Structure 1
């Protein structure tokens, strides 16, 4: 039944695939050579299961999406007190590459703009630039669950055209923010921005944050939960540069964009999203990436301020009602992530029954995405010669007025579902 979720993602990606607004990041020559038509979307659930749509396997450079991860590494390795002494956490209201610091503290305003990101690199322990970069590369790779490699052509392009970042680094040195050689720190910064990822890598990195620092695929704790909380907090307020307010209002996910065309977004406790589309708006954010994330949040109910007891929802119990008939009792608040978990469980256990019955009388609240997904269960089951019923006495999943034309069979009681299931098995 994963195809129900896949259809959602494919439709959302297709809706925005023909958008041609925006420009490539021409100020880094190598980034101006990429295919502007690419659009990849990946969604990773908290257990590590990944859905992919479009160009999800295309590699691109991580660019500024590296910033929250290096900030997290600096917090993890050097401690919050040392990091707070060098980098603030307030939104700047300025372009990401502005040559500026806080008027009072003379430190970068936050770690998501270039000044703060360069300062964060200097806070990662390392006796040499290579040692510092290797630590960063290992950390990103642990978050992604695979070894990430550098794009040497992009690194060279950034290094050779990085005059503005050099100005920022020397400004930071003059204020005592950088403890090392500015050129050495910058070289590591250019290298970290040139690490190659896919939208699926970003989704998995996001899910590591969503899981409080544990990579769901490897089971390895990559960072402390307190580090994750601090990092996500700054991503909420500063991750989308001077478009952060609009993003939080419309999308409502801690996120970070990069001029390589990527966006990473996190729904704490539930999932991670990675999007790739290289055409950028005036603020340096992916035009189609932002639109895709808006649609995902609206359609699937992903805004992090949605009030839900998602952690206690979904499958309350499952048991065999009679031979060949399995019942799944659901409860609590049911949103996208919970509905996906239910459907994937039903699919995994498909060989153990002939008829699946969803008993939803204990559901407190359900959004349109979860409602549509559960209502589509029967179509997926009948395609493999199985049957699926709903026990929905209060019409929570499929209101009476919209049952016509839906491929769904609804009963008021389990006894009614049992009788129909016996008829199906006998026929």
Structure 2
């Protein structure tokens, strides 16, 4: 097992015994979830994904869909037009709260239900089928594969969604929502019922992390400015009324969903996703939060950690008189930086008469342990060594 996979497996093992929280039961289909499930995936800048745990298990995306639909609408209509319908301030209230501006009726932000319904109402479409198809196609572009809607989850959401219908009609009364509220709210239910795996969600997070470019397909899904706007919003509003504590402890832009998924990202570094169905009082996965706290500490992911050239360490190549190829690194080497260094090494054609390869990391100002483990393992496979001291 490679060292990064082992690190991720160890993190899951450490939190697997935690049983705080409860599965969401206000949507009957979600109450049937296997509470023991736990999965984690990380996607790097070159599109490589490592997934551990119950990584093949599908779950409905729920509120993790909100930043992506917001991104699609931002890209299509522009920031000014979208912000006429929804704000960008933290609500400090639960996800289903009625958080509307007194003067305008705008929802506080697009990551609570009222704001998400307003945003879904801006997706072009003459009827429910067309609007839903556009949303699923957009989510699929972020994931890098075709996604589908779980019709049982959709039916369950629709059957129990009277509060969301009330929010839609309230938004219509303020002229925030145009057209038939029924179409907007049902499209929102179908959006939330889209099926994903942790690998899908980590790729989606990676697409935001890398300026709107899907790291697996290479497709430019949204503009870099839109990606930046969405990541900024996630930083302050993504974890509902637990967003402040999240930013302090984990320090990553993130978004959770009541099926137990959480996505997070380190800008220009990687996307990460975790799934575990038991939720805390804020509606966020309890074990998912613990996993990402651990990863933030161990991989140096906190957005406010001090960094230099985190994603692109400087690489120099020299040949010693005895034929040794010496690769020197300077700057800071993070997990994603290690992947880029390895890609560069694989691109160097080492002549047959080169007796040895040395990767010298003594010039680095900061070296993250996970990056060193990856580098040692891969350079060892090339028959070389990593020189630390």
Normalising TM by the smaller chain, what interval?
Answer: over 0.9
Alignment match, 2:362:
361
Q: Following TM superposition, by how much is the alpha carbon of 1:307 offset from its aligned partner in structure 2, in angstroms?
A: 2.5
Alignment match, 1:139:
138
TM-score (structure 2 length as normaliser): 0.93
Q: Secondary structure at the match of 2:361?
A: strand
Alignment match, 1:217:
216
Q: Any unmatched runs of 5+ in structure 1?
A: 396-427
Query: 1:109-131 CA deviation, whole Å, 9 max, x = no partner?
Result: 00000000000001111222221
Cα distance change on mapping 1:276 and 1:323 into 2, 3 Å: farther
User: CA–CA distance in 1 between the matches of 2:309 and 2:238?
Assistant: 25
Q: Following TM superposition, by how much is the alpha carbon of 1:214 offset from its aligned partner in structure 2, in angstroms?
A: 0.9
Alignment match, 1:115:
114
User: CA–CA distance in 2 between the matches of 1:71 and 1:312?
Assistant: 27
User: CA–CA distance in 2 between the matches of 1:12 and 1:74?
Assistant: 36
Cα distance change on mapping 1:55 and 1:326 into 2, 3 Å: farther
Query: 1:6-60 CA deviation, whole Å, 9 max, x = no partner?
Result: 1111111111112111111100000111111111100000111111111111110
Alignment match, 2:185:
186
1:256–1:263 CA contact under 8 A, matched in 2: yes
Alignment match, 1:398:
none
Q: Following TM superposition, by how much is the alpha carbon of 1:347 offset from its aligned partner in structure 2, in angstroms?
A: 7.0
TM-score (structure 1 length as normaliser): 0.85
Query: Is 1:247 matched with 2:257?
Result: no
1:28–1:158 CA contact under 8 A, matched in 2: yes
User: CA–CA distance in 2 between the matches of 1:18 and 1:298?
Assistant: 20
Q: Following TM superposition, by how much is the alpha carbon of 1:325 offset from its aligned partner in structure 2, in angstroms?
A: 4.1
User: CA–CA distance in 2 between the matches of 1:186 and 1:122?
Assistant: 8
Alignment match, 1:238:
237
1:343–1:377 CA contact under 8 A, matched in 2: no
User: CA–CA distance in 2 between the matches of 1:189 and 1:317?
Assistant: 51
Report the RMSD for the aligned CA atoms in angstroms.
Answer: 2.2
Q: Any unmatched runs of 5+ in structure 2?
A: none
User: CA–CA distance in 1 between the matches of 2:117 and 2:148?
Assistant: 20
Alignment match, 1:19:
18
Mapping for residues 249-288 of structure 1, pairs under 5 Å: 249-288=248-287
Q: Following TM superposition, by how much is the alpha carbon of 1:324 offset from its aligned partner in structure 2, in angstroms?
A: 7.4
Alignment match, 1:103:
102
Q: Following TM superposition, by how much is the alpha carbon of 1:67 offset from its aligned partner in structure 2, in angstroms?
A: 0.5
Mapping for residues 342-353 of structure 1, pairs under 5 Å: 342-343=341-342
Query: 1:186-209 CA deviation, whole Å, 9 max, x = no partner?
Result: 110000000000000000001111
User: CA–CA distance in 1 between the matches of 2:282 and 2:55?
Assistant: 24
Query: Is 1:173 matched with 2:168?
Result: no
Q: Secondary structure at the match of 2:2?
A: helix
Query: Is 1:388 matched with 2:372?
Result: no
Cα distance change on mapping 1:193 and 1:324 into 2, 3 Å: farther
Mapping for residues 301-320 of structure 1, pairs under 5 Å: 301-310=300-309, 313-320=312-319
User: CA–CA distance in 1 between the matches of 2:368 and 2:68?
Assistant: 32
Cα distance change on mapping 1:323 and 1:377 into 2, 3 Å: farther
Alignment match, 1:5:
4
Cα distance change on mapping 1:358 and 1:125 into 2, 3 Å: same
Q: Following TM superposition, by how much is the alpha carbon of 1:277 offset from its aligned partner in structure 2, in angstroms?
A: 0.7
Query: 1:387-412 CA deviation, whole Å, 9 max, x = no partner?
Result: 4241x4xx4xxxxxxxxxxxxxxxxx
Query: Which stretch shows the higher mean deviation, 145-154 or 339-348?
Result: 339-348
Query: Which stretch shows the higher mean deviation, 37-46 or 74-83?
Result: 74-83
Cα distance change on mapping 1:221 and 1:7 into 2, 3 Å: same
Cα distance change on mapping 1:18 and 1:116 into 2, 3 Å: same
User: CA–CA distance in 2 between the matches of 1:40 and 1:350?
Assistant: 38
> Which structure ranks higher in relative contact order (CA pairs < 8 Å, sequence separation ≥ 6)?
2
1:346–1:356 CA contact under 8 A, matched in 2: no
User: CA–CA distance in 1 between the matches of 2:63 and 2:242?
Assistant: 15
User: CA–CA distance in 2 between the matches of 1:386 and 1:360?
Assistant: 17
Alignment match, 2:63:
64
Q: Following TM superposition, by how much is the alpha carbon of 1:373 offset from its aligned partner in structure 2, in angstroms?
A: 4.7
- Mark the structure with the bigger radius of gyration: 1
Query: 1:236-258 CA deviation, whole Å, 9 max, x = no partner?
Result: 00000000001111111111000
Q: Secondary structure at the match of 1:310?
A: coil
Q: Following TM superposition, by how much is the alpha carbon of 1:355 offset from its aligned partner in structure 2, in angstroms?
A: 3.5
Alignment match, 1:75:
74
Query: Which stretch shows the higher mean deviation, 241-250 or 322-331?
Result: 322-331
User: CA–CA distance in 1 between the matches of 2:171 and 2:303?
Assistant: 35
Mapping for residues 74-93 of structure 1, pairs under 5 Å: 74-93=73-92
**How many residue pairs end up in the alignment?**
387
